[in-house]
Amino acid sequence: MLAGAWVLVFLPLMDALMASGWASKVPVPTVFDYRGTVQTIDDTFLSWPGVFQAPVFCIGVVLLFSKERGRHTARLDWTRRWGILSSYVVLLLSAAQVLIICALVLAGIAALFIAMPLKQQPHVTQFFVHVSTGYLWYGAYPKPMSAVVLVAFSSIVMLLGCIPLFNALRSSGPKWAARMLLAPLALFALIHLAQVGRYCIEFSSMTWDDVPPNALYFWPALLVRDFTGGSRSSFFLLNASKMTASGFYMEVAKWCIVVAIAVWLSIAQVAVWLAHKRALNSNNTKAPER
């Protein structure tokens, strides 16, 4: 759970690197002896909006529902399996919005290979053709409703994630502080679910410009909008006009709460380690001499 909290803290990392320009200075490891144009992070597919955020979000929330040794059972432990299942749905919906781009790129590469003389064509040409055309024919395409469902499931995941977080925080601190810290996260999830309900009612006339402003529960691009100047959106289905001041403060509150939770759990973990170490030292000093 502590690892999951810190993973969520670093959710805006890629947006901050791209917005500050540091992504063009961070080199990527070279696996093959290839001297091409891919040299820094901003040259990789990882810098594409939505590719980094969705896996990091799903990894973080799944770790929150993990079964740790020594954790006491609670009445609401059954929500863990539903939280993990919802996180898988979030990952699949996010992957569908990225795989269509991969299929188009792969189809372009296959077309270049086919244009080459037959003797010079790579052996993977037919494989690229079958994979790209197969996905373009039968694969999932991003639609406005998929973005709405993505926001709904990511909000449900965070709403369920507040339960194990509350159990962890109240066991290492006052309950009132845990309630005050987690209440805004649950409230923001309910707000997003209410927005999803309104969009579902108006779905017949909804376009890409009308989808919810949050591709996930968190919207890192809005958090770093001061660096971008509102020119870079969080995903290809989002536009800069939806970067409102209220949404910005909401994202700041979300991120600050996640940081506070991570620091709280870290301090509690360090306190447990120190107490265990003092107990071992005291037992060693009180051991009778033979």
Question: Which of the two residues, 122 and 222, has the higher pLDDT score?
Answer: 122
pLDDT band at 264 (very low <50, low <70, confident <90, very high): very high
Average pLDDT, stretch 193-211?
Answer: 69
Model confidence at 231: pLDDT above 70: no
Report if residue 284 sits inside a domain. no
What global pTM score does this model have?
0.78
Would 283 be classed as within a structural domain? Answer: no
Q: Residues 65-83: pLDDT tens digits?
A: 887 776 677 777 788 888 8
Identify the domain containing residue 201 by its residue range: 2-276
Helices of type H across 116-139 = 125-138
Weakest-pLDDT range from 27-41, 144-158, 275-289: 27-41
Question: Is 224 part of any domain?
Answer: yes
Mean pLDDT, range 209-227, rounded to an integer: 69
Considering 114-118, 215-219, 263-267, the range whose residues carry the highest mean pLDDT is: 263-267
Q: Tell me the percentage of the chain whose pLDDT exceeds 90.
A: 23
Give the pLDDT confidence score for residue 96 in this predicted structure.
80
Is 289 contained in some domain? no
- How many domains in the chain? 1
The amino acid that residue 167 corresponds to is N
Which residues, listed in sequence order, are joined to residue 40 by a DSSP beta bridge? 27
Structure tokens at 165: 């977080």
pLDDT band at 235; cut points 50, 70, 90: very low
What is each CA distance from 251 to 25, 95, 218, 256, 260, in whole angstroms?
27, 23, 7, 9, 14
DSSP three-state, residue 114: helix
Report the pLDDT averaged over residues 42-53: 74
Q: Tell whether the model's pLDDT for residue 278 goes beyond 90.
A: no
Tell whether the model's pLDDT for residue 98 goes beyond 50.
Answer: yes
Count of positions (residues) in the chain:
290
In this structure, is residue 80 part of a structural domain?
Answer: yes
What pLDDT does 205 receive?
57
Q: Is residue 24 part of a domain?
A: yes
In a domain? residue 285: no
- Could you tell me how many helices (H) and strands (E) the chain has, helices first? 10, 0
Instruction: Identify the residue whose tokens are 């296959």.
Output: 110
Measured CA distances, 59 to 3, 50, 56, 90, 162 (Å): 10, 14, 5, 11, 16
State the chain's mean pLDDT as an integer. 80
pLDDT band of residue 272 (cuts 50, 70, 90) is confident
Residue 56's contacts (CB-CB under 8 Å, 6 or more residues apart) are 7, 8, 10, 11
